[in-house]
Amino acid sequence: MKFLTITIDYLPMAGGVARYTDTFCEAFGSDMTVVADLGTIHTSEIKRPFAVTYKPFMQRNWPRWMGAVHELARYEVDLVFTHHVLPLGVACLMNKRRTNTDYVVVLHGMDFELATRNMWKRWITKQVLREARLVVANTHALARRVRVFADVETVVVHPQPYISPADPIRAETFNLLSVGRLIERKGIQRVLQALIMIPHLHDRVRYHILGGSGAYEQTIRELINDLHLSDIVILTVDPTDEQIQRAYQQADLFVLPTLTRPGDREGFGIVYLEAAQFGIPSIATNMSGVDEAVIDGETGLLVETDQQLIDAITTLIHDDVRRKQLGDQAKERALSSRAMIEDLKTSLGL
C-alpha cells in the first residue's frame, strides 16, 4: 500500500507535533511519502526512510486549504494522513469526495480545542472526523473527548521519543534537566524559583536547560541572573540532537512543570518519554494528557503547587532508591509504548 502525509508542521521545525509526525511516518517506512508546506522556514534535504517533499501548497487567500486539495489530487495513494484536523482535514475530506481516497486524522490536543471553539468550526470538524477512516488521538483523555464530541471510535497512539536512547554517563554533580521551547508555559521559571528555596543543595546540584529559542528566553536569562543562579544553571539555546542526547545521558532527574495558558497547553509531552528511555524519572504538572506521559508514583511525580514542586525535587535528590525505582519503571513503560503504533496498523488492517 501507498501512504501520504500532508502537513504544515514537520522537521526541521521544532516542537512536539513536528517530531511526532516524523516518528509516526517512520513506522510506515518506504511506503510513506511526506509533503510539507512550512511557509518561510528554511528547509533542506533530510535523510529519512521515506520520501519527503517540501513545497508551498497552501493558498494565500481563503480558503487556504484549497491548495492542499489540488496537491492531494497529484498523488495516487491508498491512504492519506493529516495531523491538522483544521485546515488540512477539510482538504482530505474534499479529496475523499472527489477521489474516494480514505484518510486518517491524527489529533494532538490543542488542535482539537482550537477546532471546536465556534459553531462553524465545530460543524466542519465533526464532518472531517466522521468521514475519516480512522481518528487517532495522542492521549486517552483526548480520545474520550473526541468520542463524546463526534461519536467516532478513536485509537490512541502516544507520541514516540525522537532522541535515541544511550548508556548513562555518571557525573560528579546531581543533574536536573529540562528540555523544551523557551516559552512561559513550559514552567522553567518554576524550577528556577524552586532552586532558590533549596540553597543547601547548590553545592551538589546543577540544572541544565536545553531549549529552542522562544519568546521567554530573555526572561529566563534575567531570572537566572536576578536569582543568583548563574553558578548552577547551564542554559543551552537551540541545542543539537547530539547535545540533547548527551544531556539525557548525564541527567539524574527530569523536571518540566508545565503551565496552562490561553490557547496553549501541553498535550502530552514527548520529552517525558525521552527521559524515561534513559531511565530518568520525571517531575511534571498534574494535568490531563501529561498524566499519561508521567504516571504519578510509578514513573515520576506529578505536582500542582510550587511547594509540591520543591518537595518533589528535594525528595528525589535525597532518595536514591526511590529515584532508581521510578527511573527503571519509566524506562520499561517507554519501551512498551512503542507497541501502540503496531496496534494502529492492526486497526487499519495493515
Let me know if residue 323 belongs to a domain. Answer: yes
Going by their DSSP bridges, the two strands 154-156 and 174-179 should be labelled as unpaired
How many percent of the chain have pLDDT more than 90? 84
Residue 322 and residue 240 in one domain: yes
User: Which residue, 108, 126, 157, sits at the end of a domain?
Assistant: 157
Residue 202 and residue 111 in one domain: no
Residue 179 and residue 284 in one domain: yes
Going by their DSSP bridges, the two strands 51-54 and 79-82 should be labelled as unpaired
Residue 66 and residue 212 in one domain: no
Residue 62 and residue 136 in one domain: yes
Let me know if residue 344 belongs to a domain. Answer: no
Residue 296 and residue 192 in one domain: yes
Residues 6 or more apart whose CB falls under 8 angstroms from that of 97 comprise: none
Q: Are 93 and 87 in contact (CB under 8 A)?
A: no
For residue range 69-113, what is the model confidence (pLDDT) as tens digits? 999 999 999 999 999 999 999 999 999 999 999 999 999 988 999
Let me know if residue 164 belongs to a domain. Answer: no
Let me know if residue 85 belongs to a domain. Answer: yes
Let me know if residue 62 belongs to a domain. Answer: yes
Let me know if residue 346 belongs to a domain. Answer: no
Residue 62 and residue 187 in one domain: no
As for how many domains the chain has, the answer is: 2
For residue range 16-45, what is the model confidence (pLDDT) as tens digits? 899 999 999 999 999 999 999 998 887 777
Is pLDDT of 59 > 70?
yes
Residue 73 and residue 192 in one domain: no
C-alpha angle with apex 12: 292 to 91, nearest 5 degrees? 75
Q: How many residues does the chain have?
A: 350
Structural domain including 135 reads 3-157
Is pLDDT of 296 > 90?
yes
User: Residue 7: beta bridge partners?
Assistant: 36
Is pLDDT of 225 > 70?
yes
User: Which residue, 157, 185, 208, sits at the end of a domain?
Assistant: 157
User: Residue 209: beta bridge partners?
Assistant: 178, 235
Residue 106 and residue 248 in one domain: no
Nearest to 189 by CA among 121, 108, 261: 261
For residue range 267-276, what is the model confidence (pLDDT) as tens digits? 789 999 999 9
Let me know if residue 42 belongs to a domain. Answer: yes
CA distance 68 to 182: 31
CA distance 71 to 67: 6
For residue range 111-168, what is the model confidence (pLDDT) as tens digits? 999 999 999 999 999 999 999 999 999 999 999 999 999 999 899 999 988 899 999 9
- Confidence grade of residue 261 (pLDDT, cut at 50, 70, 90): confident
For residue range 178-204, what is the model confidence (pLDDT) as tens digits? 999 999 999 999 999 999 999 999 999
